[in-house]
Amino acid sequence: MRTLGLIAAFCLGGLLFFISFDFPSWGDALSPASRHVSPYYIEHSLEDTSVPNIVTAVLADYRGFDTLFETAVIFSAGLACFFLVRVSERQVPAARFYRHLATGITFRIEKGGRLPEGTGEFERIDSLWVPYDVIIGMTCRLVVPFIQLFALYVIAHGHHSPGGGFQGGVIFGAAIILFAISTNLRRTLKRMSERSSALLSSLGVLIYAGTGLLCLFMGAGFLNYRALAAILGVDQVAARSDGILIVESGVGIAVAAVMVWIYYNLSSAGKQDEGL
């Protein structure tokens, strides 16, 4: 089976390498894209979409189908990681470790022993324990809200400056992962559970695809945001701008949630108990 896989990979790679010679040269001014596609985007994107950032207009409007499938691929990656890595049965560790908050002394509780959970005097720590650093923990707790706020800014301001759903989603997801690294996985799961990350991943894709379906129901083409003008109470150009913001928000939600979902499974080997 491995041999067949290698043969298939080499054949496909050779085919792609052979086809690449038919592509126009890098930066060729006479290539079809440079002659009529790119000039149109540069000259008409602001007029068509009321979005100064040409990249955002291309990704979420002119090339909206491709970006939708990119979002679906990201969601599929999170789903594949879940099915491949996630451990279905909760495994109780042989021993648990706790830190006494007042003194910093750590305790090892063997399986079957009395666990000091819920007392408020002890904090559970991972078996592969990294010494607790109050400076790192407090700094991350102070920084994370500002990172998340900046992520929302990147998504909302992607019309006018570099940014958008993918970039903002990555920043927002990284903020949650930073909190997990500076504290522990269990505390992060209490704030954003695995189920929540999975549902938000689906919600992000649904917002994007649902916007396209809404355009169909309004009598226009799929992802033709002009049809939203009647619902939003604006002209068709402004409707395209608002439609871009809606789908970019969906992309941001999906990307952030998938990042967190994948991190939960990879960092804990699918056990959702301990991990960095």
**pLDDT higher than threshold 90 for residue 187:** no
Q: Which comes out higher in pLDDT, residue 223 or 134?
A: 223
Kindly state whether residue 25 falls inside one of the protein's structural domains.
Answer: no
Task: Say what the pLDDT of residue 147 is.
Answer: 96
Whole-number average pLDDT of the chain: 88
Q: Look up tokens 């990879």; give the residue.
A: 266
- The residue type found at 48 is D
Q: pLDDT, tens digit, for every residue of 15-30? A: 989 888 888 887 777 7
Q: Which comes out higher in pLDDT, residue 42 or 119?
A: 42
> Percent of the chain at pLDDT above 70?
95
**pLDDT higher than threshold 90 for residue 242:** yes
Q: How far apart are the first and last CA of the chain?
A: 35
DSSP percent split of the chain into helix, strand, coil, nearest 5: 65, 5, 30
| Highest mean pLDDT out of 36-45, 132-141, 217-226 | 217-226
Q: pLDDT, tens digit, for every residue of 259-273? A: 999 999 998 888 887
Q: Look up tokens 């913001």; give the residue.
A: 245
Kindly state whether residue 108 falls inside one of the protein's structural domains.
Answer: no
In the chain, count of helices (H) and strands (E)?
A: 11, 3
Q: What is the average pLDDT across 168-186?
A: 92
Kindly state whether residue 183 falls inside one of the protein's structural domains.
Answer: yes
Kindly state whether residue 181 falls inside one of the protein's structural domains.
Answer: yes
Residue 248: domain span:
45-89+130-267
Confidence band for 131, pLDDT divided at 50, 70 and 90? low
**pLDDT higher than threshold 80 for residue 240:** yes
Task: Say what the pLDDT of residue 248 is.
Answer: 94
* Closest by Cα among 256, 252, 140, 253 to 187: 140
Kindly state whether residue 84 falls inside one of the protein's structural domains.
Answer: yes
Q: Look up tokens 């003008």; give the residue.
A: 229
- The CA-based diameter of the chain, rounded to the nearest angstrom, is 76
Task: Say what the pLDDT of residue 124 is.
Answer: 79
Kindly state whether residue 68 falls inside one of the protein's structural domains.
Answer: yes
Burial 103-122 (b: 16+ CB within 10 A, else e): eeeeeebeeeeeebeeeeeb
Q: What is the average pLDDT across 43-57?
A: 91
Task: Say what the pLDDT of residue 54 is.
Answer: 92
pTM (2 d.p.): 0.83
| Alpha-carbon 35 to chain mean position | 35
Confidence band for 92, pLDDT divided at 50, 70 and 90? low
* Closest by Cα among 214, 263, 259 to 239: 214
Which burial class, exposed, middle or buried, applies to 71 when counting CB atoms under 10 A from its CB (0-12, 13-18, 19+)?
buried
Q: Are 179 and 188 in contact (CB under 8 A)?
A: yes
Kindly state whether residue 275 falls inside one of the protein's structural domains.
Answer: no
Domain count, the chain: 1
How far, in Å, CA of 175 to CA of 177, rounded? 5
Q: Is 235 helix (H, G, I), strand (E, B) or coil?
A: coil
Q: What is the average pLDDT across 227-240?
A: 92
Kindly state whether residue 158 falls inside one of the protein's structural domains.
Answer: yes
